[in-house]
Amino acid sequence: MLRAATYESLIGLLSVTGMRVGEGIRLNRDDVDFDEGVLTIWDSKFAKSREVPVHPGTLDALRTYAQRRDELCPQPRTASFFVSAAGTRLVYNTVQPTFSRLARDAGLVPRSERCRPRLHDLRHSFTCTVLLGWYREGVDVEAHLPLLSTYLGHGNPSSTYWYVEAVPELLALAAERRDRAQGARP
């Protein structure tokens, strides 16, 4: 029961925040500020730390998980927010194969040996969803991209622009916006 609750909550958190897998695994109890609605990510990629604001619904889900975790594992052997059935911190070498099995059981199939569902794809999906929403809403993506880059923990916005090139619909929307802007010029 704890294992199911842990993976449901971890995968849910990764999908709605775009956090890196390692950031979720390294999240400690003290890193979740339920009062402020912020997760603190310490020493992530490039030794950067950041605060990640989360939606109230996400906080409710994390709070529910924490209560369930504490009922099922009242004396964990770690300060980790997400714990294994043994009360220890999760490790990537267990998390990714578990996700792969869950994805397979859900009917997701690899397109090829090299192209299979991965936890990191949730980060990609999150970023693309945000960017698509901004383009569809007419948001000034170029002005907002540094905010998204900071939220994701990217070193610079060019790392985030990669997502535009990687998704045909995003590339088409960006090109359409560029063409409209060029057509408006005298």
Nearest to residue 171, comparing CAs of 139, 138, 135? 135
Catalytic site residue from 3, 7, 29, 45: 45
Catalytic site residue from 20, 26, 69, 89: 20
Catalytic site residue from 135, 151, 161, 163: 163
Is residue 123 among the annotated active site residues? yes
Catalytic site residue from 26, 69, 89, 154: 154
Residue 153 and residue 41 in contact, taking contact as beta carbons nearer than 8 Å: yes
Is residue 154 among the annotated active site residues? yes
Instruction: Report the chain's terminal Cα–Cα distance, integer Å.
Output: 65
Residue type, 143: A
Is residue 163 among the annotated active site residues? yes
Is residue 48 among the annotated active site residues? no
Query: How open is the CA angle 7-13-18, to the nearest 5 degrees?
Result: 125
Contacts of 150 (CB under 8 A, 6+ apart): 50
Is residue 65 among the annotated active site residues? no
Block residue for tokens 């936890």: 119
Q: Is 122 helix (H, G, I), strand (E, B) or coil?
A: helix
Is residue 120 among the annotated active site residues? yes
Catalytic site residue from 26, 69, 89, 123: 123
Catalytic site residue from 3, 116, 118, 120: 120
Catalytic residues: 20, 45, 120, 123, 154, 163
